[in-house]
Amino acid sequence: MAVAPTLAIEPMRLRDVPSVHVIERLCFSSPWPAYAFEQELSANRMAHYVVARVDGKVVGFGGIWLMVDEAHVTTFGVHPKWRRRGVGRRILLALLEIAGDIGAAHMTLEVRVGNEGAQGLYQGFGFEVTGRRVAYYSDDGEDAFVMTTPRLTSDRMREVMAAARVLLGSPDRGDAA
């Protein structure tokens, strides 16, 4: 009888950077250098990063910056072998919960106009397209959509996050946004 792998979301640590950087290079044509993650973890008080582990191995990561009252997704990636298995949903839910815990009113991000899969994930968590950045990506000049959530404390976002917790089997956080 096969045992289902255990997925855990945890704060990113310096020791996770080599594994995160492998995934970063697999996900992005212009990846962050490893030292950027190290700098984020050791010196950026606005930064909050998580990793997704399956049976102890890092399979995804994400991060936000708190800028005034807005949580901005800085990076988000899932190892190609672990996509479409709920890892990205769990990471995004964790980032939204962190955003609420640290007092963010909204969450924003940029996503490639051509990345419909990611856009669908974000729309499922209440994000809506609120703008467009022309030639945003330096590697190929592709535009980015700016996507933003409704107020994290709104009834709509509470419902979205509660439904995600049920779907993902995550513990109920009560009234937390």
Domain annotation covers residue 177: no
Range of the structural domain that residue 53 is part of = 7-168
Domain annotation covers residue 108: yes
Domain annotation covers residue 174: no
Q: What is the DSSP string of 11-60?
A: E--GGGHHHHHHHHHHH-SSPPPHHHHHHHHHH-TTEEEEEEEETTEEEE
Give the predicted TM-score (pTM) of the model: 0.90
Domain annotation covers residue 38: yes
pLDDT score recorded for residue 175: 43
Task: Express each pLDDT in 87-103 by its tens digit.
Answer: 999 999 999 999 999 99
Q: Per-residue pLDDT for 24 more than 90? A: yes
Q: Per-residue pLDDT for 1 more than 60? A: no
Domain annotation covers residue 65: yes
Q: Look at the chain and report how many structural domains it folds into.
A: 1
128-133: strand order across its sheet: 7-11, 47-54, 57-67, 70-78, 106-112, 144-148, 128-133
Domain annotation covers residue 175: no
Query: Which among 24, 49, 97, 122 is annotated as catalytic?
Result: 122
Q: What is the mean pLDDT of the chain?
A: 91
Domain annotation covers residue 176: no
- Chain-centre distance for alpha carbon 88: 7
Residue 28 is part of a domain; what is its CATH number?
A: 3.40.630.30
Share of the chain above pLDDT 90, in %: 82
Q: How large is the greatest C-alpha to C-alpha distance in the chain, in angstroms?
A: 52
CA separation for the pair 140, 142 (Å, rounded): 6
Query: Which among 40, 49, 110, 137 is annotated as catalytic?
Result: 110
Sequence-distant (≥ 6) Cβ neighbours of residue 157 within 8 angstroms:
96, 126, 149, 150, 151, 177
Domain annotation covers residue 2: no
Q: Is 122 a catalytic residue?
A: yes
Q: Per-residue pLDDT for 173 more than 90? A: no
| Helix extents (H) in the chain | 17-27, 34-43, 87-101, 116-124, 155-168
Residue 111 contacts residue 120 (beta carbons within 8 Å)? no
AA identity, residue 84: R
pLDDT score recorded for residue 176: 42
Report residue 6's pLDDT band, with 50, 70 and 90 as the boundaries.
confident
Task: Express each pLDDT in 26-72 by its tens digit.
Answer: 998 888 999 999 999 999 999 999 999 999 999 999 999 999 999 99
